[in-house]
Amino acid sequence: MPAPLRPLHYDMTAPKSLDGSPSPFVLNCFNSVRNVPSNLAADVACGYGRHAIFLASLGYNVACIDRDEDAILAISGSTRNANGEVSGHTFAVRADLSLGVPLKTACLGLLIAVHYPMLDLVPNFEALLMPGGYIILETFGGQGGNWRQLPKAGYIRTQLQFGFELIRYAERRVRPAGANAVSVRGFARRQ
């Protein structure tokens, strides 16, 4: 008999936009994911794990990486698919991402980083992925003053162009106009 699932605990003080559903961009990318070299994945800066839970429901074993220990412990455990069968697992990795990602080199088949200012982490992400592994990146949108943490136009594309085959990539300029900051959505496969 499978172990009971731990109940999810959502912090009621968390932003209300966290409804638990994966980003539409992430869902769209999964239409093109084929032949992933490993079922080990990472949700970087996962928060309360909307993408980790999605990946685990597809059978991935997911490293939930965040500095918020309460959030990652709330989602650690087994995940059931639509048929009620245990399909994948999530496990907590508490880390300050400004110091790097604490996983073994070339261990992941898939890495997702959504709504995290990943300016200098793309080389670390590349090192974590096995050849043929996928990366899905989506920055936040540039509302209010958070545009200061967004990359300059072309910066993430430049970091992805040598070790990855770009499948989808889009930048959207954010205000103020003179800042040259962009929000990014990227989907690539490591060569």
Taking only the tens place, the pLDDT of each residue in 100-155 is 889 999 999 999 999 988 778 899 999 999 999 999 999 998 888 888 899 999 99
- Domain extent listing, the chain: 24-29+39-190
Taking only the tens place, the pLDDT of each residue in 9-63 is 333 333 434 567 899 999 999 989 999 999 999 999 999 899 999 999 899 999 9
Euclidean distance between CA atoms 20 and 24, whole angstroms: 12
Do 98 and 27 form a contact (C-beta atoms < 8 A)? Answer: no
Residue 168 is predicted with a pLDDT of 97
Of the candidates 18, 85, 81, the one whose C-alpha atom is nearest the C-alpha of residue 53 is: 81
Taking only the tens place, the pLDDT of each residue in 147-178 is 889 999 999 999 999 899 999 999 999 988 78
Distances (CA, A) of 81 to 29, 58, 144, 166: 20, 7, 38, 30
Of the candidates 57, 28, 120, the one whose C-alpha atom is nearest the C-alpha of residue 43 is: 57
Q: Which fold has domain 24-29+39-190?
A: Rossmann fold (3.40.50)
Euclidean distance between CA atoms 97 and 163, whole angstroms: 21
pLDDT band at 4 (very low <50, low <70, confident <90, very high): very low
